[in-house]
Chain A
Amino acid sequence: MAAQLDDAVGKAAPRTGKGGAPPGRRAPRSPGRGAARPPAGRAPRSAAPGPSARRTPYLLLLPALLATAVLLGWPMVRNVLLSFQNLDMKELIQHLTDWRGTGNYQEILGSEQFWRVTLRTLVFTAVNVVLIMVLGVLIGLLLARLGTKMRLTLSLALVLAWAMPVIAATTVFQWLFDSRYGVVNWLLDKAGWHAMAHYDWVGTQLSTFSVITVLIVWQSLPFVALNLYAATTTIPRELYEAARMDGAGTWQVFTSVTFPFLKPFFLATTFLEIIWVFKAFPQIFAINEGGPDRLTETLPIYAFTEGVGNLHFGMGAAISLLTIVVLLAMTAHYLRLTLRQERHEENEL
């Protein structure tokens, strides 16, 4: 539990303490801070920002920025250029550059397939993220109510599921859902649903997506649950006591204390889960390569299949750029919120 515990303290607590929670809740922190740092203590830093001190942040950030520019920026630029080219096997081997203008984009945006895949990706992401957040929060709250031993047991189980490497987990799920000897079909059959005795899970779109969703939710819940539990430990007890005194029930305590206090946590976690689910690749690819009949292709799989699989590299690049645009549109709200909060914090610095 520790890593998450720690992680949440790192991630949720400071942010909560600073920008997220209403000013009143910060009260216990602020006076302490102010007292420990009298105006005089501040003076040396702001009085002597010599030229070398001014350069320090940039020097510290230089390696990270340089790495990002070279390893991400360059492929990105290359990807943009590529999306305006016609690059198939022939051009690739002969090192030809065949500019196509906006042809790739016109072709993709005009195809029904692209819009169908986009809609499917949005629904897929929404369903998974909602399941992960709701169940993850419930399990996190359950952890907070358990005794030490039981909490340790459940945490350990969660950590094991969390630590399973994706490709290994995907392989195991294929075995669990194997049509002939899979334990899931055996259980369903024993439970009285005999039609499932030798059910072929990767035979239809819906059933394939069900397996993928169970896999993704199983692997993602621990992150949310353990972090939420850890974050709740940072909530001052008095807030809960006050709420209970006012006669609040479980649901009201959650909506009036836990949720408002951990709002930054909820925002950050939802943001991360949206990115992770949206980009899910090995799970979908390894279960059935986007099949049956390309019916479980999401945008990343679609771009990969078109680009690498069908050797239309230019088209693949164009789809991947559109994928990035969709992802940005989905997360723009969070990015804006964070930047606004940063501006507040900067004024405090």
Chain B
Amino acid sequence: MKRAVSATAGRLWPNATALVLAAGFVFPVYWMFSTAFKPTRDIVTDEPVWFPFHGTAEHFATAVHAPHFWTLAANSVLVTVLAVGLSLVIALCGAFALTRMRFRGRRGILLTFMIAQMAPWEVMVISIYLIVRDADLLNSLAPLTCFYMLMVLPFTLLTLRGHVAAVPRELEESAMVDGCSRRQAFRKVVFPLLAPGLMATSLFGFITAWNEFPLVLVLNKEPAMGTLPLWLSQFQSQFGDDWGATMAAASIFAVPVLVLFLVLQRKAVGGLTSGAVKG
């Protein structure tokens, strides 16, 4: 009897805590979306309206019709996808060399990337601005793409190192014994096993590049040459009191990442459980 009671209590507390925590983590996201759909009279109230019963899309219309929205959205997608794609390819090569091979200067190179990971881009905008200005590349997407690529690269490389190390060397070696070249062994055996790892790391990269703010703030001042973070921050200073429109703008900015996260998450689960490598 006593046992049963304590067993129920033992499950009750973790579950209750988990529910409260889940609510706490979701609430800001929920509040963003629900505010975006509420008519203004339900936003500016003394009692919060918890659910948008009189849903409206007018705030989204305001956001989408704000100047340059579509151009900047296209810029953001282009820059982010290019930066993440490039950094994945470059990082994978590097991670493979650093995990699987032994060579002179290996530790020095590793340290270089660890320090590169700490690079405070936020405070280097001044010198970057001067370099880009001297190259006459202000207000263009090329420098943004390059710098975002490098912002993502060290983390991608160092994390992929762990993923490469988790692929048993024996698999590769037996493929090579079976007559594959090192490159074939990599393509046919190692790469498929790395896919979930690549997806997981690319999520981080995606978030970093999609979010970057200080650099684009300084480099791309021309209204049509920025990215969405810039658009959102300017939108907010312009519509700051219009919380409905501001939350709609924030939602539009957040949705691609939220969706990508949820979709890729599931893929990565499948990849992990089906890859029975860990034994």
Given contacts A154-B18, A171-B246, A346-B102, contact A308 B125 (CB under 8 A): yes
Cβ of B246 and Cβ of A175 under 8 Å apart? yes
Distance in angstroms from B121 CB to nearest chain A CB is 8
B123 within 8 A of A: yes
**Contacts A142-B14, A165-B257, A346-B106 given: A335-B232 contact, CB under 8 Å?**
no
Contact (A320, B126) CB under 8 Å given A142-B17, A160-B29: yes
- A72: chain B residues at CB < 8 Å are 116, 119, 150
Tell me which residues across on chain B come within 8 A of A331, comparing CB atoms. 118
Q: Which of A4, A5, A11, A316 contacts B123 (CB under 8 A)?
A: A316
Residue of A nearest to B267 (CB): A2
Instruction: Please determine whether B117 and A275 come into contact, CB atoms closer than 8 angstroms.
Output: yes
Cα separation A339 to B112 with both chains bound (whole Å)? 11
Smallest Cβ-Cβ distance to A307: which chain B residue = B126
With a 10 A CB-CB cut-off, give which of A164, A176, A335 has the most chain B CB atoms. Answer: A164
- A181 touching B243 in the complex, CB below 8 Å, given contacts A168-B32, A281-B214: yes
A120 at the interface (CB under 8 A from B): no
A41–B22 CA distance with the chains assembled, in angstroms: 51
Min Cβ gap B130→A in Å is 6
Complex: how many Å from CA A172 to CA B207?
A: 17
Q: Which of B1-9, B54-62, B65-73, B88-96 contacts A (4 or more CB under 8 A)?
A: B88-96
Please name the residue on chain B nearest to A275 by beta carbon: B118
- The smallest beta-carbon distance between B21 and chain A, in angstroms, is 6
Interface of B: prevailing SS: helix
Question: Is residue B51 within 8 Å, beta carbon to beta carbon, of the partner chain?
Answer: no
CB within 8 Å of A: which B6-62 residues: 11, 14-15, 17-19, 21-23, 25-26, 28-29, 31-32, 35, 43-48
Residues of A within 8 A of B130 (CB): 78, 82, 313
Which chain A residues lie closer than 8 Å to B110 at the CB level?
A: 338-339, 342
The reply to whether the CB of B203 lies closer than 8 angstroms to some CB of chain A is yes
A-side contacts of B163, CB under 8 Å: 6, 10
Does A23 interact with chain B (Cβ within 8 Å)? no
In the complex, chain B residues whose CB is within 8 Å of the CB of A63? 90, 93-94
Assuming the A-B contacts A64-B90, A172-B247, A327-B118, are A300 and B123 also in contact, with contact meaning beta carbons closer than 8 angstroms in the complex?
yes
Q: A3-B200, A41-B177 are in contact. Are A159 and B261 (CB under 8 A)?
A: yes
Contact with A along B238-273 (1 / 0, CB 8 A): 000001001101110110011011101111111110
Q: Which residues of B contact A159 (CB under 8 A)?
A: 261-262, 265
CB pairs A–B below 8 angstroms (18 shown): A9-B166, A12-B162, A63-B94, A67-B150, A75-B128, A79-B126, A142-B21, A151-B18, A154-B21, A157-B23, A175-B35, A175-B247, A181-B43, A181-B48, A186-B47, A282-B214, A324-B118, A342-B110
B residues bordering A, Cβ < 8 Å? 11, 14-15, 17-19, 21-23, 25-26, 28-29, 31-32, 35, 43-48, 90-91, 93-94, 96-98, 101-103, 106-107, 109-120, 122-131, 146-147, 149-150, 153-154, 157, 159-160, 162-163, 165-166, 168-170, 173, 177, 196-197, 199-201, 203, 207, 210-211, 213-214, 218, 229, 232-233, 236, 243, 246-247, 249-251, 253-254, 257-258, 260-262, 264-272, 278
